[in-house]
Amino acid sequence: MTFGVVRILVINGPNLNTLGWRQPELYGHETLADVEAKCVAEGKQLGLEVECFQSNSEGAIVDRIQSARGVFDGIALNAGAYTHTSIAILDALLAVGTPAVEVHLSNVYQRESFRHRSYLSKAAIGVIAGFGSHSYVLALSALKQQLETASDAEVKKG
Ligand code: DQA
């Protein structure tokens, strides 16, 4: 287990600020503030310190990922539509190397074929999709487990 506080950055991309009224049949009725509060609370239960960030702008997301280097232990990223288009966000994740989980509220594989391709999965430990806001909770739990496994392996190596 990593010594000290384990810090996770939750990033939400474009249009996720409209949660609550955006296509509720797909994305549910919770607002972004509800989802972020859930991440902080569930994170606390898991012993994680969670910080949240949202932007509609690709460059701002790239900047936030870059500034997470050496500060956060893991990233849970719902890049929204940029998932399916952004080589810049992929490159930022590859550059910082911080363990990241790709998150989606909806089951993107049940939807239009353009949502089946992710540019970001290449840089992610794994992908969690289709569980609504619980997808974020699953991502936090997966990150905790991965970080513990990685640091146990470090300890064994000595
Ligand atoms: C989404 C799925 C994307 O295809 C879409 O563009 C979003 C939200 C999801 O959480 O299900 O904005 O990432």
Residue with CA closest to ligand 1 atom 9: 104
Domains and CATH numbers, the chain: 6-153 (3.40.50.9100)
Task: Round the average pLDDT of the chain to a whole number and report it.
Answer: 95
Reported pTM: 0.95
Helices and strands, counts by H and E, the chain: 5, 5
* Catalytic member of 27, 82, 119, 136: 27
CA-based torsion, 90, 116, 17, 140: positive or negative:
negative
Predicted local confidence at residue 3, as pLDDT = 58
Instruction: Give the mean model confidence (pLDDT) for residues 106-115.
Output: 98
User: Is 1's pLDDT higher than 70?
Assistant: no
Residue with CA closest to ligand 1 atom 1: 80
DSSP state, 85?
Answer: T
**pLDDT, tens digit, 9 for 90 and up, residues 10-55:** 999 999 999 999 999 999 999 999 999 999 999 999 999 999 999 9
Predicted local confidence at residue 16, as pLDDT = 98
User: Is 72's pLDDT higher than 70?
Assistant: yes
Mutation test of ligand 1: which of 18, 27, 35, 106 has the most ligand atoms closer than 8 Å to its C-beta? Answer: 106
Respond yes or no: is residue 136 known to be catalytic: no
Respond yes or no: is residue 104 known to be catalytic: yes
